[in-house]
Amino acid sequence: MISNVIRGGINGVPSIPGDKSISHRSIIIPSISNGICEVNNILKSDDVLHTLNAFKDMGVNIKEHKEKIIIQGRGLNSLKGSNKEIYLGNSGTSARLLTGLLSSQKFKSVLTGDNSLSSRPMKRIADPLIKMNAKIYTTNGSLPINIESSKLKPAKINLTIPSAQIKSGLLLAALNIKGETHIIENKITRDHTEIMLESFGANLEIQKFDNKKVIKVFGQKELVSSNIDVPNDLSSSAFFIVSALINSNSNIILTNINNNPTRNGIILALKKMGAKLKLFNKRTNNNENICDIEVVSSNLNGCELGPEFADLMIDEYPILAIAASFADSPSVFRGLKELRVKESDRLNLIVTNLQNCGVNCKSENDDLFIYPSKNYQIKNNIIKTNFDHRIAMAFCIMGTKIGPLNIKDSKSINTSFPTFMNELNNLGGEIS
């Protein structure tokens, strides 16, 4: 994909797809609930389709329509073992959540993925489940994972890695365990799973203390389906937000965007950098916060973000780094260790690619330092993405300012935002 400099700004109302995290959960949770669930505005990207196909393979009746799917759930123990390996492509969310859910089922499963997913850490979800008596066998700590049927026991699990994927995998396992399972988060992460489970009638007790959370799950209570409207994805919106901020003469409006307070660090960070962002029409639907957002071109300043921001916006550092490259003062983003184990080593790719674009930046002890300048001399316009969708989209936005940039392996964008290029071009982008 080639991303070229744009002249006239980014203007209009982009069509942002449904939220990826909520879309996965909108397949998983109704599939183990009772009744019919109509899911509107579900994201139809590669990652979510892997989750969808997994549940079809496990016997769930799912009907697909253009913008919605209809799931007929038959309860906590209604899934059937798949007669083949469950292939999850690039999707870490599918892998962690399904490892948890399937460890408390009465059949064996094998989970596999693409090369990138097969190199990501899975002991982080396997180990706490093994403490709950699960029989899980990873391959050197990664996929393929073999899950044997086992009767899980309630336990108290203290999470040391801040991860909504691990928490959600454990919650899904605990739903099918007789007794009281405690999951303790020492740093609060996105809470879409808890929100959806509570609205489907799960027996959860949640206590919050500062940035800590204790979730008690009283298992083996059957869930009852209700319809879901998936809000649009703030993480996908962030690429458009930053493109409008850094390109002059821009004005965009994003509608129906998920503004969950455990996920909206990018808004707080950009506001700290002086971004002209207006959040309006604030409302709730399915207990998720939603709003519309107006963005106009802005003169950004640099800022320092502590590690507490990482839990609120882990997926947005690639695009935030692009914004920081066009600020009028340096930025430091601290505590980015988890960026190293995403779809790629994102911290490394941010630094290498920015340096190739001529930006003075470095990472030190998992902190990222960016020293912006007024003019960039490109050293190498080939952007290496290691098939990471967010690196590809972030540097596509970089290209709108300093292009042409040649973004390698940009097909990965289909994992979360298949219409990205068309949407950007419709609003004034020069992507081919």
CB 405 within 8 A of CB 381: yes
Q: Which CB atom, from 23 or from 247, has the smaller least distance to ligand S3P?
A: 23
Instruction: Give the three-state DSSP class for 412.
Output: helix
Where on the phi/psi map is residue 12: left (φ > 0), alpha (ψ -120 to 50), or beta?
left
155 residue type, one letter: A
Binding mask 93-112 for ligand S3P (x = CB under 6 A): x-------------------
**Can you read off the two tokens belonging to residue 126?**
């396997």
Nearest to 100 by CA among 73, 71, 125, 75: 125
CB of residue 349 vs ligand S3P: minimum separation in angstroms?
15
Name which of 92 and 219 has its Cβ closer to ligand S3P: 92
Choose, by CB under 6 A, the member of 91, 165, 243, 415 that binds ligand S3P: 165
- Collapsed DSSP state (helix, strand, coil) of residue 20: helix
Give the shortest CB-389-to-ligand S3P separation in angstroms: 10
Residue closer to ligand S3P by CB (options 48, 273) is 48
Residue from 114, 288, 316, 338 touching ligand S3P (CB under 6 A): that is 338
Of 36-44, 106-114, 160-168, 198-206, the segment contacting ligand S3P by CB under 6 A is 160-168
Structure tokens at 345: 């080593």
Nearest distance from C-beta of residue 315 to ligand S3P, angstroms = 5
| Nearest distance in Å: CB 374, ligand S3P | 33
**DSSP letter string, 332-360:** EE---GGGGGSSS-HHHHHHHHHHHTT-E
Question: What's at 95, amino acid-wise?
Answer: A
**Which of the residues 168 through 197 are near ligand S3P (CB under 6 A)?**
168, 189-190
Q: Please check whether residue 49 is in contact with residue 22, taking contact to mean a CB–CB distance below 8 angstroms.
A: no
CB of 395 to ligand S3P, least distance (A): 18
Tell me how far the alpha carbon of residue 255 is from its chain's centroid: 19
In the complex, the smallest distance separating the C-beta of residue 237 from ligand S3P, rounded to whole angstroms, is 14
Q: Tokens in use for 312? A: 């609120």
C-beta closer to ligand S3P: residue 222 or 345: 345
What is the smallest separation between the CB atom of 97 and ligand S3P, expressed in angstroms?
A: 7
Q: How many residues bind ligand S3P (CB under 6 A)?
A: 11
Q: Pick the catalytic residue: 47, 191, 233, 315?
A: 315
The answer to the question of residue 138 lying near ligand S3P (CB under 6 A) is no
| CB closer to ligand S3P out of 224 and 268 | 268
Does position 58 bind ligand S3P by CB under 6 A?
no
Name beta bridge partners: 258. Answer: 290
Residue placing its CB nearer to ligand S3P in the complex, 315 or 388: 315
163 makes contact with ligand S3P (CB under 6 A): yes
Told to check if 314 binds ligand S3P by CB under 6 A, we report: yes
Count of Cβ atoms closer than 10 Å to residue 339 Cβ: 23
Asked if 164 touches ligand S3P (CB under 6 A), the answer is yes
Establish whether 229 is a catalytic residue. Answer: no
3-state helix, strand, coil in the chain (%, to 5): 35, 25, 40
Please spell the DSSP secondary structure of 223-242, one letter per residue: PB---EEPPBPHHHHHHHHH
CA-based nearest residue to 270, from 254, 286, 281, 289: 254
**Beta carbons of 141 and 118 less than 8 angstroms apart:** no
Interface positions, 16-45, toward ligand S3P (CB under 6 A): 21
DSSP annotation of 185: E
Provide the H-helix boundaries in 255-388.
265-272, 310-313, 317-324, 346-356
* CA gap 238, 258 in Å, rounded: 12
CB under 6 A: which stretch of 162-170, 206-214, 251-259, 352-360 binds ligand S3P? 162-170
If the CB atoms of residues 165 and 256 are measured against ligand S3P, the closer one turns out to be 165
Residue 46 interacting with ligand S3P (CB under 6 A) = no
Q: Is 258 in the site for ligand S3P (CB under 6 A)?
A: no
Strand order across the beta sheet in which 61-64 lies: 61-64, 68-74, 34-40, 228-229
Nearer to ligand S3P, 114 or 338 (CB): 338
Enzyme catalytic residues = 315
Residues in touch with ligand S3P (CB under 6 A): 21, 93, 163-165, 168, 189-190, 314-315, 338
